[in-house]
Amino acid sequence: QVQLVESGGGLVQPGGSLRLSCAASGSIFSIGAMGWYRQAPGKQRECVATITSGGVTNYADSVKGRFTISRDNAKNTVYLQMNSLEPEDTAVYSCNANVVLSYTRRLIPYWGQGIQVTVSA
């Protein structure tokens, strides 16, 4: 049906930057809101940032001014530019996309498999 594939994670030193990408493919008619979520060990999953199909963004207070979410609707891709990374940003990051399927026109949420981001000296 629909697959979300994330890339761009890894190990970075405090103060460094990473750019995550999440590309959606499959039976897509359109995509509504997209977002990035993260879950650190022993903690609940939290919403990091979301972006509507029209480009309206929303951020968690902990990442405002450091992270930027964007999307390329032609490529069905959402990005997360992460700057000034802190050890507290270490987590598994997952993307989410609300997809209107091409053959049913139903709106279904899909998730990526998750990608590790580790911020450490």
- Determine the pLDDT at residue 13: 98
- Determine the pLDDT at residue 85: 98
- The secondary structure of residue 8, as a DSSP letter, is -
- Determine the pLDDT at residue 18: 98
Rounded to a whole number of angstroms, the CA Rg of the chain reads 14
The Cα 5–Cα 77 span in angstroms is 9
Adjacent-strand bridge partners of 24: 4
Question: Confidence class of residue 3 from pLDDT cuts 50, 70 and 90?
Answer: very high
Q: Look at the block and give the residue holding tokens 């879950």.
A: 39
The Cα 46–Cα 40 span in angstroms is 9
Query: Cβ–Cβ contacts within 10 Å for residue 71, how many?
Result: 20
- The secondary structure of residue 84, as a DSSP letter, is S
Please report which helix (H) or strand (E) contains residue 67, including its range.
strand 67-72
pLDDT digits (tens, 9 = 90+) for 62-117: 999 999 999 999 999 999 999 999 999 999 999 999 999 999 999 999 999 999 99
Adjacent-strand bridge partners of 78: 22, 71
Question: Confidence class of residue 34 from pLDDT cuts 50, 70 and 90?
Answer: very high
